[in-house]
Amino acid sequence: MTLKVMTVYGTRPEAIKVAPVVKALEACPDFESTTVVTGQHREMLDQVNAIFGIVPDHDLDVFAHGQTLNSIMAKVFDRLDPVLVQERPDAVVVQGDTSTVAAASIAAFYRQIPVVHIEAGLRSGDISSPFPEEANRKLTSQVTALHLAPTSTSRDNLVREDIDAATIAVTGNTVIDALLHTVEQQIPFTDARLAEAERSGRSVMLVTTHRRENWGGAMEGVGRALKALAQRYPEQLLVLPAHRNPIVREAVLPYLMGLGNVVVTEPLAYGEFTRLMAASKIVLTDSGGVQEEAPSLGKPVLVMRENTERPEAVDAGTVRLIGTDEQRIVDEVSRLMDDDSHYASMANAVNPYGDGRAAERSVAAMRQLFGLGERIADFA
């Protein structure tokens, strides 16, 4: 008899990281895979599903402009519970740290359904940063039956919180599986400006910024720093896929108006974004997932945050935490631009996040959870 595994996800980063596991579950004869999207992100979520050929079985469609975190959580609780009753899954899989993850894991726990948490054990050590992700991760860990930790550091974080080590598997990060799959597809740019930059071989700095804790004065400082960098390095093309949140756009975009070497795009589809990362010289970001992806492509990453729940690449030297101070952003990017040895030391550092077999390890751990087989060796 096959066991039903329900994967619940709602944002583009979640979709990217669950996709390899969903495909591995579909290929495993022991499991019947069911997918539920909450639609916490809408258009970007659908784009990722299309890349991996995933057609969700249920769509909770919780997205609404300007809604609060409490509203998202309430909608997921209310709309997911009838699906749990209808489908009666043997396990619910969640990924990461969004409001979808926290709500879905607690809803499953209330229905006494085992929770499997992909990317378990990330910790920044500050409950308010990143917000609300750090709290969502910790809440989810309390109700999880199987913790799929991406690294040994994440495993150690869980053990320190008195999580039973027997319930933890170190898998590597599924984002590497997804990235390698997507880069191989060579998905072309639809924006003519990006296609031309790639053809010409022009040096590109990729920038992403959206973090809630940076809203306001810090993000305006990011905008001023980007303007200063564009003026200091006119030969460099600065590309900013602009987050759709108007708070982000109003803080950053006014500083970039009229600069000929700045390209502002709408959020890029995942396939195009991975191509842009591969074509970039430097990545400047406050994103979590980009800290894992870009090092796999040999790109130095400067992170505009005060702390990170992903310290492994910082320790390895391919990621550097620089905060949001305007002058420091300018100084750190300038150092990478002007100092070839410093650039090489970051670009050539070893990526500690995965080897492309995270989904395989994840499904093997799920088989062991149900007494169907043995795990394979942890990712080291």
- Mean pLDDT in the chain? 94
CA dist., res. 95 & res. 269, Å (int): 20
Comparing CA positions, the residue from 321, 207, 177, 210 lying closest to residue 273 is 207
| Residues 215 and 250 both lie in one domain | yes
Single-letter amino acid code for the residue at 252: V
Sequential pLDDT tens for the chain (380 residues): 799 999 999 998 899 999 999 999 999 999 999 999 998 766 678 888 888 999 999 999 998 888 899 999 999 999 999 999 999 999 999 999 999 999 999 999 999 999 999 999 999 999 998 899 999 999 999 999 999 999 999 999 999 999 999 999 999 999 999 998 898 888 899 999 999 999 999 999 999 998 888 888 889 999 999 999 999 999 999 999 999 889 989 999 999 999 999 999 999 989 999 999 999 999 999 988 898 899 989 999 999 998 888 888 899 899 999 999 999 999 999 999 999 999 999 998 877 888 999 999 999 999 999 999 999 999 98
DSSP 117: E
Same domain, 147 and 201: no
Residues 223 and 340 in one domain: yes
Gyration radius from the chain CA atoms: 20
Is residue 160 located within the same domain as residue 200?
A: no
- Based on the domain organization, do 77 and 199 belong to the same domain? no
The DSSP bridge pattern shows strands 31-37 and 301-303 to be: unpaired
Same domain, 162 and 133: yes
Instruction: Tell me the angle at which helices 326-338 and 217-232 cross, rounded to the nearest 10 degrees.
Output: 30
Give the structural domain span for 142: 3-173+354-369
Residues 6+ positions from 179 with CB-CB distance below 8 Å: 274, 293, 296, 297
Same domain, yes or no: 238 and 314 = yes
- Output the domain CATH number for residue 53: 3.40.50.2000
Please, where are the H alpha helices in the chain?
12-27, 43-52, 69-87, 99-110, 133-142, 152-160, 174-184, 192-200, 217-232, 246-252, 270-279, 289-296, 312-316, 326-338, 340-347, 358-369
Kindly report the pTM of this predicted structure. 0.83
In a domain, 267, yes or no: yes
The crossing angle, in degrees rounded to 10, of helices 174-184 and 43-52 is 70
Residue 122 CA to residue 288 CA, distance in Å, equals 11
Tell me: do 31 and 144 sit in the same domain.
yes
Nearest to 244 by CA among 76, 63, 97, 98: 63
Q: Are residues 238 and 337 in the same domain?
A: yes
User: Do 219 and 75 belong to one domain?
Assistant: no
* Four-residue CA torsion sign, 219, 221, 223, 226: negative
Residues 150 and 108 in one domain: yes
Shared domain check, 163 and 274:
no
Catalytic residues: 97, 119, 133, 210, 212, 243
